Structure 1
Amino acid sequence: MRDIDLNLLTAFDAIMSEQSISRAAMRMNMTQPAVSNALGRMRVTYNDPLFVKAGRGVKPTPKAEQLWRDVHGPLQVLRDAVHPPVFQPARAKRRFRLGTSDLMTMVLWPGLRRLIEKEAPGIDILAVPYTCQDMDRLLADGGADMVFGVFEELNTEYRSQPLFTDDLICAMRKSHPLAGAPLTMKRYLAADHLLVSLSGDPVGSVDKLLEQQGLKRRVAMTVNQFLGVPTLLAESNLICVAPRIAVTKCTQNDLHLTRPPFDIPTSVVSMAWHARCDRDPGHIWLRQSIAAICAEKSPRALRCASVADRRSGRKEKVELDRNVFA
């Protein structure tokens, strides 16, 4: 077994976790040149570049990935034994990147900012846009510390925690021709529909549900964010099946809300993160804070902060429901 400075492995572990030399330096409270120098020594020791540039960050080589699998766990155990993890919000200086839609920022950000101003003024929160196709890029590659959405399956690389549930409601302007009578399936299918599709796919979960019944609707317009939905509905003949929170929180527009003429499962909105962040004290603080804010704001929050992980042995890649509402 070759001799190697433990500090080099610590720097290597930080680069792997952050997928960025500059963020690794910030995490270790070191200068970027010092971290780069440590990486240079590691490259000589292992006769491998270990990382290559990828966008604004770095991407590990196969050799680095294998090395990290061998050293990450033991390093964490050693850290915990020597310095039991402690996170002091009032003194911490750290930046978190959260992959989210505009709807979740409206639900969560005000309360999160109030908490930070009160308890953790050195914490920065950056919103990172994402769609279901971005999950691996953001979490596995370090582009985001966590993401929010409606998830189907998680593989063993990821952890998740449910935050709140929301039912789907059919929204339209109050003077819409369909607003004056019960919404039957026939009337629903004859309407022009608005779909929020974060991925750009014009087929949502409602379309899949209708297809199972041999039915089809016309998606006449899509948008890739929630903020403009109430205004668009108020000024057109479009109708939209949306999470109730999307049409009651985004704007004060007065819309007609009714149940869709079919059964739709309740949506469970969760946060998800990579397993490497599981025991990070700062990450744990942020997750607990977010869960508490959602529990306070939502009457149907899933009060399960003690059940922080939902682990799945399935090997399929994690999938985000393409349309948070469809």
Structure 2
Amino acid sequence: MKYCAANYQFSFHSVNMRRMNDLRGIDLNLLVVLEALLAERHISRAALRLHLSQPAVSHALGRLRQLLDDPLLVRGQGGLVPSARAHELAGPLAEALAQVRILLGPSGFQPATARRSFRLAMSDYGAMALLPGLLRAVRKIAPGIDLVVSQASREAMTAKVADGEIDLALGVFGQPPEGVHSTELFEETYACMVDAATVRGLGKLDQVAYLARSHVLVATHSERVDAIDAAVAKVGGRRKIACVLPHWSVAPALIAGTNLVLTTARRSLAAFEEDPRFAVFDPPFPLPGFGFSLIWHDRTDADPGHSWLRERVIAVAAGDEPDDAISLRS
């Protein structure tokens, strides 16, 4: 009896393993749906991304749950929450699908006829500096390409690139982890901006006047000490922070009609350089610049579509208008 039970258990396990390993019985399109659900964490957004109906995506999720014997995503506040199993699958799934796309794709990427969605992450500064030009280039050359843009901290963006949740991230990053590629897009400098009425006849502030005023601090994370504060400390000063906010784009509007000072990335102030309401000038103390970079994972490095999009980002950052005759080989 004991022998028979052992044989039965072995037989059942063998049949189950054969079923899981036999890809002929599995709809591989389900993995594409799972990829979209893990990225969007929302049925309707995943459906839009996949150009499917919401019922179709819901049905696919049900089949995935049955196939993998796991809930995968459950309802939570604001959307779907991945299970522990889903978190484990995210990285291998992204890597596997990237390799399948390379395997089944054409020898070269054809942007004019391609239909594909890319997930990008960047701050609103990155979006302001590069997204308009990038979107114009993509729409002109590859109208079937969609860009899904999200925002996160630099640490979260790096982690999402590593996990396969996003394809490309733009920002200020340190040394990337193993498997993550990085290329600098441009070197950025800082500039100061004040209401022009508060510096009439001067157009700028010296160190004493700068430190005497209150400041607006843009901080995309919880820490209130940044590179600017570190540079101010080197000259023996300390800024008085009147307002801390996480968004670059709204900061200039807070300066008008006040004596506040904004010190931020120069590119974010380009639209105000010639505006008579404001005075934009160099910081009154040494302040090193910073590199703005593009990162992506090794799993997508050889993907022709990713290569094409990376080249577009690099071209826009360099101020070049992409040529629609450019074609990249795999």
The answer, yes or no, to whether TM exceeds 0.5 is yes
| Equivalence map 1:117-266=2 (5 Å) | 117-132=139-154, 134-135=156-157, 139=161, 144-156=166-178, 158-177=180-199, 180=202, 183-199=205-221, 201-211=223-233, 215-249=237-271, 252-254=274-276, 255-266=278-289
| Equivalence map 1:1-326=2 (5 Å) | 2-4=18-20, 5-6=22-23, 8=26, 10-11=28-29, 13-14=31-32, 17-18=35-36, 19=38, 47-50=69-72, 52=74, 61-63=83-85, 80=102, 86-132=108-154, 134-135=156-157, 139=161, 144-156=166-178, 158-177=180-199, 180=202, 183-199=205-221, 201-211=223-233, 215-249=237-271, 252-254=274-276, 255-296=278-319
Larger mean Cα displacement after TM superposition, 16-25 or 111-120: 16-25
Q: 1:114 to 1:68 in 2, by over 3 A?
A: closer
User: How many residue pairs are counted as aligned between the two chains?
Assistant: 299
Deviations 1:75-122 (A, max 9, x none): 765664565554322122233343333333333233223223321112
For 2:319, what is the secondary structure of its paired residue? helix
For 2:293, what is the secondary structure of its paired residue? strand
Structure 1 residue 167: Cα displacement = 1.0
Structure 2 residue ranges without an equivalent (≥5): 1-16, 322-327
- Quick one: which amino acid aligns to residue 220 of structure 1? A
Q: 1:61 to 1:140 in 2, by over 3 A?
A: farther
Q: CA RMSD in A?
A: 4.1
Deviations 1:219-276 (A, max 9, x none): 1123433334444334321122222211113675233333323322212112234454
Q: 1:69 to 1:169 in 2, by over 3 A?
A: closer
2:324 aligned partner: none
Structure 1 residue 277: Cα displacement = 3.8
Larger mean Cα displacement after TM superposition, 175-184 or 155-164: 175-184
CA distance in 2, matches of 1:75, 1:202: 40
Larger mean Cα displacement after TM superposition, 9-18 or 168-177: 9-18
- Quick one: which amino acid aligns to residue 290 of structure 1? V
Q: 1:213 to 1:252 in 2, by over 3 A?
A: closer
CA distance in 2, matches of 1:262, 1:200: 25
Larger mean Cα displacement after TM superposition, 252-261 or 119-128: 252-261
Q: Contact 1:160/1:272 (CA < 8 Å) preserved in 2?
A: yes
CA distance in 1, matches of 2:121, 2:91: 25
CA distance in 2, matches of 1:40, 1:61: 14
Instruction: Name which one, 1 or 2, has greater alpha-carbon Rg.
Output: 2
Q: Contact 2:184/2:293 (CA < 8 Å) preserved in 1?
A: yes
Q: 1:80 to 1:195 in 2, by over 3 A?
A: closer
1:312 aligned partner: none
For 1:176, what is the secondary structure of its paired residue? helix
For 2:315, what is the secondary structure of its paired residue? helix
2:10 aligned partner: none
TM-score normalized by the length of structure 1: 0.70
CA distance in 2, matches of 1:145, 1:238: 38
CA distance in 2, matches of 1:161, 1:291: 9
CA distance in 2, matches of 1:244, 1:26: 37
Q: Contact 1:10/1:75 (CA < 8 Å) preserved in 2?
A: no
- Quick one: which amino acid aligns to residue 99 of structure 1? A
For 1:271, what is the secondary structure of its paired residue? strand
CA distance in 2, matches of 1:193, 1:277: 42
For 2:318, what is the secondary structure of its paired residue? helix
Q: Contact 1:202/1:219 (CA < 8 Å) preserved in 2?
A: no
Percent identity, please: 34
